[in-house]
Structure 1
Amino acid sequence: MSEKRQHVPTVRLRRLAAELRHLRAGAELSREDVSEKTGINVATLYRIEKARARPQKRTLIALLDLYEVQDPLRDELVSISRGTSDQGWLRPYHSELPEEYTAYIGFEAEARSMRNYESLFVPGLLQTEDYARAVIKGTLPTASQREVEQRVQARMERQALLAKEQPLQLWGIVDEASVQRLVGGRGVMRRQAQHLLDVLEEPHVTLQVITFDKGAHAGMAGSFVHMDFQDPADPELVYVDNLAGDLFLESEVEIRRYRSMFEHLRAVAQSPKESSDLLAKVAARD
């Protein structure tokens, strides 16, 4: 994989991009109009508005002047811009991981709460090391041992989010297939089920299972993660991972759709207590 430094968008960069898009729309200007009035290249403006580039200070000031932005919003956006490069959670070796994955790691580290539906896997933040290794080897059959171990290490490090002073609030929903499939063998699955039972003792972690007898349900279309952040002004984010590629969704229509889908899944799933009872049976198997 490439050793060059990757661009990983942060929550603050996304917030700045969203504000600049909103301001341009409010001024009823196209990107071409802005380019003509400021001299900012259209491609550069596109990258700034898509959170793919941090604007230089003079570029940001030119945009704020054009949009006639006054304090306190003006000062706030300049301040946000100064902090958009903060990616302190990422480790040096993460530059060797896929860019979409490192972006996800960065967003996850800044999230206040997460709602995660998984159709086939135990959520990554709740996986044991043995289970994670078996999953990664199984789903990435061409990965080298080094690549597998890097991903396992990253997955284990991510779990520190559940143990910090103000832990991530995690609500997971899984299809029963995720706890019944023998990933790594019976011993691995017994230890994984027991680990889930241990983690679920924490008040900030909830897990529900949708049992096979529920039949078809809204989550069968695929897994997703819905995150929100400490500052209410930071836009919510939905992450979808599939064979076609990783998607980060942030429009209000998309956020509402996935928020509604998660509520439907919560309603059809077993209660947290019933789900723990099922996990206890898996943990007790020979």
Structure 2
Amino acid sequence: MDAAEGSTLARRQLGRRMRRVREAAGKSIEDVVFAGVASRTKLWRIEHGRTAVKTGDVLALTRLYGTEPAVVDELVPLVEATRSSGLIEDYGAAVPQGLGLYAELEATATTVHAYSSELIHGLLQTEDYTRAVIEADRSLTPEVVAQRVAFRMERQRRFFDRAESGRLEAVVTAGAMNLVVGSAAVMEEQIAHLRAVADGGAARIGVLPATDGVHRAMRGPFVVLDFEDPEDPDVAYVENLVGSRYLDKPADVTRFREAFEEVRDRALPLEEWLR
């Protein structure tokens, strides 16, 4: 297990256990805030595995909850594991805000369901395609562009090259396939790469024809991440110019999953669309 995978799993595991300990103690979020131990936002981030956790935070919370020492002894070792993130440590400021957590979740997901309406999904991009996309932001220096390209290539390696490779189901619109990113040569290489990935069985890729009319996913791209542990909630992820959102309420995830299934059922297999 690499550092990114370990830190993500540790955060989510610790978060679930801290929530259970609080609930078992009969303490509400308001009780924690009133006691001055943690703010509502901080407690939410801890219990949802969205942040590295300090030992002091765990000790303060479990003291408030009256947690048995034996349980505290089980929780503390998880704290250090929440701090190491190979992706963040290796790429630092080059990681776009909000994307670090997504990349860690992606690296541990059993299945990624991705709908893309404007661009090829990041796990399927060639290096030149990625560079052309990132260079569209004129505010970035050449050094940051290079770091972000490397970061995206590392995301692909962590997803596909781990001991048990994740499974990718991707649906992309015909518009994204026809959009020239970089140059005609870049697109030719990108299409060839998609063919190779699909033929090799690493991903199932469908193309939604332009003639197929309206559908529920037209509001924008999104990803649904599935995880092996039944207690590790599946997550829907959406992003825009000013940030990103992670939705793990079952009803929200179901809506995105149903939208993906709709476009997947209407999409043509890549090879059929390319004929």
Q: TM-score, normalised by structure 2?
A: 0.82
**Which of 263, 277, 284 lines up with 2:272 in the alignment?**
277
Q: Find the counterpart in structure 2 of residue 105 from structure 1.
A: 103
How far is the alpha carbon of 1:243 from its aligned partner? 2.1
Q: Find the counterpart in structure 1 of residue 265 from structure 2.
A: 267
**Which of 131, 140, 144 lines up with 1:143 in the alignment?**
140
Residues 1:219 and 2:214 are matched in the alignment: no
Distance in 1 between residues matched to 2:243 and 2:219, nearest whole Å: 15
Distance in 2 between residues matched to 1:22 and 1:257, nearest whole Å: 27
Q: Find the counterpart in structure 2 of residue 4 from structure 1.
A: none
Distance in 2 between residues matched to 1:233 and 1:79, nearest whole Å: 20
Distance in 2 between residues matched to 1:10 and 1:229, nearest whole Å: 12
Kept after mapping to 2: 8 A contact 1:55/1:81: yes
Q: Find the counterpart in structure 2 of residue 17 from structure 1.
A: 15
Q: Find the counterpart in structure 1 of residue 227 from structure 2.
A: 229
**Which of 188, 192, 195 lines up with 1:194 in the alignment?**
192
Unaligned runs of 5+ in 2: 1-6
Q: How many residues align?
A: 267
Kept after mapping to 2: 8 A contact 1:16/1:77: yes
Distance in 2 between residues matched to 1:203 and 1:76, nearest whole Å: 41
**Which of 131, 150, 155 lines up with 2:152 in the alignment?**
155
How far is the alpha carbon of 1:154 from its aligned partner? 1.1
What RMSD in Å do the two structures reach over aligned CA positions? 2.9
Kept after mapping to 2: 8 A contact 1:21/1:49: yes
Distance in 1 between residues matched to 2:73 and 2:126, nearest whole Å: 45
How far is the alpha carbon of 1:226 from its aligned partner? 1.3
Task: Describe how 1:167-206 pairs up with structure 2 within 5 A.
Answer: 167-206=165-204
After alignment, is 239-248 or 173-182 more displaced? 239-248
Distance in 1 between residues matched to 2:230 and 2:72, nearest whole Å: 18
Kept after mapping to 1: 8 A contact 2:97/2:243: no
Distance in 2 between residues matched to 1:49 and 1:255, nearest whole Å: 19
Q: Find the counterpart in structure 1 of residue 4 from structure 2.
A: none
Distance in 2 between residues matched to 1:14 and 1:128, nearest whole Å: 31
How far is the alpha carbon of 1:54 from its aligned partner? 4.4
Task: Describe how 1:228-247 pairs up with structure 2 within 5 A.
Answer: 228-247=226-245
1:25-60 per-residue CA deviation (whole Å, 9 max, x = no partner) reads: 5655333423556x6244654553454554444643
Distance in 2 between residues matched to 1:149 and 1:237, nearest whole Å: 29
Distance in 2 between residues matched to 1:129 and 1:101, nearest whole Å: 18
Kept after mapping to 1: 8 A contact 2:95/2:151: no
How far is the alpha carbon of 1:84 from its aligned partner? 1.8
Q: 1:187 to 1:80 in 2, by over 3 A?
A: same
How far is the alpha carbon of 1:204 from its aligned partner? 3.5
Given residue 273 of structure 2, which amino acid in structure 1 is its aligned partner?
L
Q: TM-score, normalised by structure 1?
A: 0.80
Kept after mapping to 2: 8 A contact 1:94/1:102: no
Residues 1:249 and 2:247 are matched in the alignment: yes
Distance in 1 between residues matched to 2:70 and 2:113, nearest whole Å: 33
Q: 1:66 to 1:117 in 2, by over 3 A?
A: same
Given residue 95 of structure 1, which amino acid in structure 2 is its aligned partner?
A
Q: 1:82 to 1:234 in 2, by over 3 A?
A: farther
